[in-house]
Amino acid sequence: MTASPEVARRRTFAIIAHPDAGKTTLTEKLLLFGGAIQLSGAVKARGQQRRARSDWMKVEQERGISVTASVMTFEHQNCVFNLLDTPGHEDFSEDTYRTLTAVDSAVMVIDAAKGIEAQTRKLFEVCRLRDVPIITFINKMDREGRDAFSIMDEIEKELALDVTPATWPIGMGREFLGCYNLLADQLLFMEREGAKDRARQALACQGLADPQLDRLLPKHAVATLREEVEMVRELCPPFDLDSYRAGHLTPIFFGSALNNFGVRELLAGLVGMAPSPRQQKALQRRVDPHEDQVTGFVFKIQANMDPKHRDRIAFLRLCSGHFRRGIRMLHVRSGKLLNIHNPQLFLAQDRDRAEEAWAGDILGLPNHGNLRIGDTLTEGEELHFTDIPSFAPELLRKVRPDDPMRAKHLERTLRQLGEEGAARVFKTHLSSEWIIGVLGVLQFEVLADRIKTEYDLPVHYEGTPIHTARWLESADSLRLKAFFNGNTAAMAEDHDGSPVFLARNAWHLETAVKEWPEIHFLKTKEQFIR
């Protein structure tokens, strides 16, 4: 194993936020400052281009939400950033959760007026499960918002996280002048959008007592700044890299993405603080990113990114090794060898063939359905990366083709969508009907639209009395069979034939669990595989 500088300069991260906090704006500004795009507005333009190319994303367009996570790679200050975009709408949280398994750190965006919101909390909890280090960006400081102390207090109390400011705001709303960079001792001025002056350079200071501050800022603003920083230094622990990397402490940057303010400092924070690729947990052992052999896992499958090619892209997070195009890799689940001829890298505005890649990078692998979420690829070792979450569906509906003659076609389509991880699909044992299970109600609509546009198959939904689904597992195959035979009306199979129990209500499930102690009723398929 040789420590590679290529691995050390990777920063693979995601932005987590409640819808409307400013994730899209911040993403765009990060790409802009990172030199990946030339003009502001390109993230949206790119989105529109994509929509024009892909019909099923009409739903996305109409709803004004981002359904699918994508990856953007850019280089800045000798670091390679892999920014994994996460869908903001809560109905698509499963995709977001999975994306978070593929990052080494996250940026949490909070609207200064709103503080922590429902989705922020949920996403944070996922990060906490894996000790993902978090940098916080308090956005929209140009608007009247909440007092900085109260937001920090909320983060500390609600998320049980130590906080320490990296920058400190000078004023707020219309009175917002900029920030003092506490880590670099710099005065940062904000130029509002539309201001004619070019953004002023950060001004180096000799600490807060520097008389320059008295010359450049209004008297009351300097006095407040000095007083507040003194208080904050008493109240907050100093920045500690180890504590941040362990996920215990979050440095806070204040800014306004819309006004390009605070973004440069945030990027510098990612360069200086955010971890390079971390070790990944596999069932058999921990995998170090500097190991020579290439390993990775699939965390997302996306269909029809380009309708001209009816392929599916599996997103592979590389966990170790130096990947080269053409490499032969073992697909651990099937035991087959795959030749990786056409791996894609996702640059901010385009995708490109990847000649080589390193741990931390995200590769897109076109395939025809042989790769699934959670699959591990290695150069020969039997490894299974773990902790890729899959959730028991909370909403279930019967799905039927508008044309009853096309039931076979529906079956093929649903099996594919099930493999892709777009939804849970179950075929009932007695009536051979198909049930779709999702986490958010909007997913039903997106799926129906996809089935119609991608598979040319109009479908409709019908209600079902089913309350929830559980995968069944048991070391005792006879008992499993007995359960199956005794409950045929509630039995189904998923897309690859695994047995599933469809409970009519909570009591039905509880009784089954109590009466059949030898059988595990699992909420997630991953537990089942492992």
Q: Tell whether residue 25 is a contact of ligand G4P (CB under 6 A).
A: yes
Q: Tell whether residue 406 is a contact of ligand G4P (CB under 6 A).
A: no
Q: Tell whether residue 403 is a contact of ligand G4P (CB under 6 A).
A: no
Among 110, 155, 249, 257, contact with ligand G4P (rule: CB under 6 A):
257
424 contacts 491 by C-beta, under 8 angstroms? no
CB of 141 to ligand G4P, least distance (A): 7
**Amino acid at position 152, single letter:** M
95 contacts 300 by C-beta, under 8 angstroms? yes
CB of 135 to ligand G4P, least distance (A): 16
CB of 504 to ligand G4P, least distance (A): 38
Q: Tell whether residue 23 is a contact of ligand G4P (CB under 6 A).
A: yes
Give, as ranges, the residues between 114 and 173 that touch ligand G4P (CB under 6 A). Answer: 139-140, 142-143
Mask for 322-351, x = binds ligand G4P (CB under 6 A): ------------------------------
What tokens were used for 315? 């997103």
Rounded distance, CA 479 to CA 278, Å? 42
In the complex with ligand G4P, the residue whose CB is nearer, 17 or 332, is 17
Q: Tell whether residue 262 is a contact of ligand G4P (CB under 6 A).
A: no
CB of 124 to ligand G4P, least distance (A): 15
Q: Tell whether residue 89 is a contact of ligand G4P (CB under 6 A).
A: no
In the complex with ligand G4P, the residue whose CB is nearer, 256 or 416, is 256
Q: Tell whether residue 63 is a contact of ligand G4P (CB under 6 A).
A: no
Q: Tell whether residue 492 is a contact of ligand G4P (CB under 6 A).
A: no
CB of 109 to ligand G4P, least distance (A): 7
The region that residue 321 occupies, defined by phi over 0 for left and psi between -120 and 50 for alpha, beta otherwise, is left
Among 7, 14, 17, 116, contact with ligand G4P (rule: CB under 6 A):
17
CB of 398 to ligand G4P, least distance (A): 33
SS (H, E, C) 260-310: CECHHHHHHHHHHCCCCCCCEEECCCEECCCCCCCEEEEEEEEECCCCCCC
Among 34, 87, 88, 364, contact with ligand G4P (rule: CB under 6 A):
88
CB of 257 to ligand G4P, least distance (A): 4
H/E segment holding residue 325: none
Sign of CA dihedral 372, 461, 492, 405: negative
Rounded distance, CA 71 to CA 246, Å? 25
Among 120, 256, 260, 376, contact with ligand G4P (rule: CB under 6 A):
256
H/E segment holding residue 7: helix 5-8
Among 103, 225, 258, 329, contact with ligand G4P (rule: CB under 6 A):
258
The region that residue 115 occupies, defined by phi over 0 for left and psi between -120 and 50 for alpha, beta otherwise, is left
Closest CA to 255 of 192, 169, 195: 169
Phi (first) and psi of residue 226, to 5 degrees: -65, -40
In the complex with ligand G4P, the residue whose CB is nearer, 28 or 375, is 28
Rounded distance, CA 118 to CA 506, Å? 26
What tokens were used for 195? 């201001």
Radius of gyration of the chain (CA): 25
Count interface residues toward ligand G4P (CB under 6 A). 17
Q: Tell whether residue 93 is a contact of ligand G4P (CB under 6 A).
A: no
In the complex with ligand G4P, the residue whose CB is nearer, 135 or 522, is 135
277 contacts 104 by C-beta, under 8 angstroms? yes
88 contacts 47 by C-beta, under 8 angstroms? no
In the complex, the residues that contact ligand G4P under the rule CB under 6 A are: 17, 19-25, 88, 139-140, 142-143, 256-259
